[in-house]
Structure 1
Amino acid sequence: MESPRMTAVSRLAIGVSNQFSLVPSTDLRTAVKEAFAVEFGRFLDQADGVAQPEKLFDLVCAFALNFDCPWIAYGSPTPDHKLLKTPRRDRRVMLNYPDEWQQRYFEMGYDKIDPIIKTSRKRTGAFRWSEVYNDASTTEDERRVFEEAATFGLRSGVSIPLHCPDGSFAVVSFARVMDREFENITITYLELAAIHFLSRVAEFANSSGAEEPTSLSQREKECISWVARGKSSWETGKILEISDNTVNFHIKNVMRKLDVSSRTLAAIKAISAGIIEL
């Protein structure tokens, strides 16, 4: 399955290939590398004018499409191994993975066994998911995370961890819908973009200081807590002895207050902000 749109780099590569079909392949590779450099320069120029983490994330997403990567996730795992839990002052959990995979990942507790997180704790540079999958130390349960992700369209990926002086770290992951290995030059540019993104996010967090915590009602906390445990609205209603329509009403309020588009993200973000605990 191909990327949703033909990227600028893809168009350039095809154009160069058609125009210079009889010239050495090294010339084509040079042209493509130059196209990568142009796209990265454009990303840096656009990023310099951005003042919000969300808009910067959108720019990273647009840049990654040049390398056929429609899926991106950013998170800062905690010492207890949970994924996508960011420092309280850095309020954003940013990812655009398919909603169905987010829900499956969350419900199955894959954040506790995610091999990407285990590897990121030990690595300081970018790594391919295939390296982790094929590593002898990776367990069958950990491989299952990759296998299930593939069924939701995340068939190959690369992750970039960034370790901070205080011992914390963050990870940016890029995924493709096709089962194709990442080229070295692609990894280089994605790593540069990820490092720039992570450094800018840290700047935003430092400049904004402590933020006012989002306030949820007791009932909203109860509803989103059960969502975090994988319960449906019907099941939550039975537990709390309220109707499923009432549950949905409270969950929608939580989504609005936390500024997210899905109940799964609302649950993740509520945990990240320390609003609820599992």
Structure 2
Amino acid sequence: MSDQLWLVPSMPSQEPAKEAFSVELGRFLEQTDGVARSEQLFDLLSAFALQHECPWIAYSSHSADQILKSVRRAPALMRYPDEWQEHYVQMGYDRIDPIIKKSRKELGAFRWSEAYNDVSTTEVERRFFDDAATFGLKSGVSIPLHGPGVGFAIMSFARPSCRELQNKTITYLQLAALHFHLRAARVVNSRCIEKALNLSLREQECILWAARGKSSWDIGVILGISENTVNFHIKKVLRKLDVTSRTVAAIKAASLGIIEL
């Protein structure tokens, strides 16, 4: 970036009083009460972020078959400039995204300028931030949301201004992001439970024996059906539980109380 925007972070911007933050956060929490769709929750969070001059917001999950993968299909929950999203894909930035890299190691929120200036950040990764700034994302903060599964989610807030967000602003954004993450996961989890309750008795039997370490051939002998039939039922279980392996399906079925190991 020609003006070295990320090398010398600008002074924090002037933000509303602490009381205003509390009122805004309280209103956001009230508005989300009873909301049953992740997209609606995201709309409310976007409105909350906009009050802090953060018009750009994105929520993405980075997991490989989490037991309860909260919004795994959702880089869809994103409000970044269309041009930047297209550029991101064209440049293959998903493979070197420094925000993802830093989020794997961080427990709390961090400013993008911190990631830019990190000694482990490469020149290619710094170009990512430089490019983002040219598309209007001139400063931002990202919040890693680690859970009990093997993956994690990231909530990012960005603004077209070079001014850094104050610490107290980041604290409130982090609280709102965590609330969104938990509520969204609960919404998706309830849908998983509804699907799981539709498992047939035979499907439950097959995944139970799979959970106990039996092969499809073993399960077929135990249940008196063919190996192909066992595989057919297992595939249906994978589809209903929205996972890609029988091991994860077994863990998920157990966590939902469908089977007992």
TM (normalized to structure 1)? 0.61
Structure 2 CA distance for aligned equivalents of residues 194 and 123 of structure 1: 15
- Give 2:130's match in structure 1, choosing from 147, 152, 172: 147
Distance 1:38 1:89 in 2: 28
Q: What's 1:191 paired with?
A: 174
1:115 Cα offset (Å): 0.4
Residues 103 and 44 of structure 1: CA distance in aligned 2, closer, same or farther (over 3 Å): same
User: 1:162, 1:170 within 8 Å by CA — same for their partners in 2?
Assistant: yes
Match of 2:91 in 1: 108
Counterpart Cα distance in 2 of 1:154 and 1:35: 25
Per the alignment, residue 203 of structure 1 pairs with 186
- Which residue, out of 35, 38, 52, partners 1:50? 35
Secondary structure of the residue aligned to 1:180 is coil
Is the CA contact (8 Å cut-off) linking 1:159 and 1:171 kept in structure 2?
Answer: yes
Q: CA deviation at 1:89?
A: 6.9
- Corresponding position: 1:69 with 2:69: no
Question: Shift in Å at residue 51 of structure 1?
Answer: 1.1
Q: 1:90 touches 1:205 (CA, 8 Å); kept in 2?
A: no
Q: Given residue 104 of structure 2, which amino acid in structure 1 is its aligned partner? A: R
What amino acid maps onto 1:106 in structure 2? V
C-alpha separation in 2, matches of 1:201 and 1:190: 16
Partner of 1:179: 162
Query: RMSD in angstroms over aligned alpha carbons?
Result: 2.5
State the alpha-carbon separation in 2 of the partners of residues 67 and 185 from structure 1: 11
Give the letter aligned to residue 53 of structure 1: S
- Residue in 2 that maps onto 1:60: 45
Distance 1:163 1:98 in 2: 26
Using the alignment, how far apart are the partners of 1:210 and 1:101 within structure 2? 36
The Cα offsets for residues 215-274 of structure 1, whole Å up to 9 and x where unpaired, read as: xxxxxxxxxxxxxxxxxxxxxxxxxxxxxxxxxxxxxxxxxxxxxxxxxxxxxxxxxx99
The CA distance in 2 between the partners of 1:65 and 1:161, in whole Å, is: 20
Shift of 1:168: 1.1
The count of residues paired between Structure 1 and Structure 2 equals 181
Using the alignment, how far apart are the partners of 1:104 and 1:181 within structure 2?
A: 24
- 1:65-90 deviation line (CA, Å, top 9, x unaligned): 111000000001246xxxxxx94874
Q: 1:117 corresponds to which residue?
A: 100
Q: Is this contact kept in 1: 2:61–2:71, CA < 8 A?
A: no
> 2:117 aligned to 134, 153, 156, which one?
134
Contact 2:59 2:156 in 1 (8 A): yes
How far does the alpha carbon of each residue in 1:17-38 deviate from its partner, in whole angstroms, 9 at most, with x for none?
A: xxxxxxxxxxxx8x71101110
Mapped contact 1:89–1:211 kept (Cα < 8 A):
no
SS of 1:122's equivalent?
coil
Instruction: Report the CA distance shift for 1:60/1:89 in structure 2 as closer, same or farther (over 3 A).
Output: closer
Relative contact order higher in (CA < 8 Å, ≥ 6 apart) = 2
CA distance in 2, matches of 1:90, 1:143: 27
The partner residue of 1:165 within 127, 148, 173 is 148
Q: What is the aligned-residue identity percentage?
A: 61
Distance 2:63 2:86 in 1: 20
Structure-to-structure mapping, 1:266-277, within 5 angstroms: none
Instruction: Determine if contact 2:141/2:170 at 8 Å carries over to the other structure.
Output: yes
Q: 1:174 to 1:54 in 2, by over 3 A?
A: same
Deviation of 1:166 after TM superposition, in Å, equals: 1.8
Distance 1:95 1:62 in 2: 13
Q: Conserved in 2, the CA contact under 8 Å of 1:89 and 1:209?
A: no
Structure 2: gaps (5+ residues): 1-13, 196-242, 245-261
**Aligned counterpart, 2:226:** none
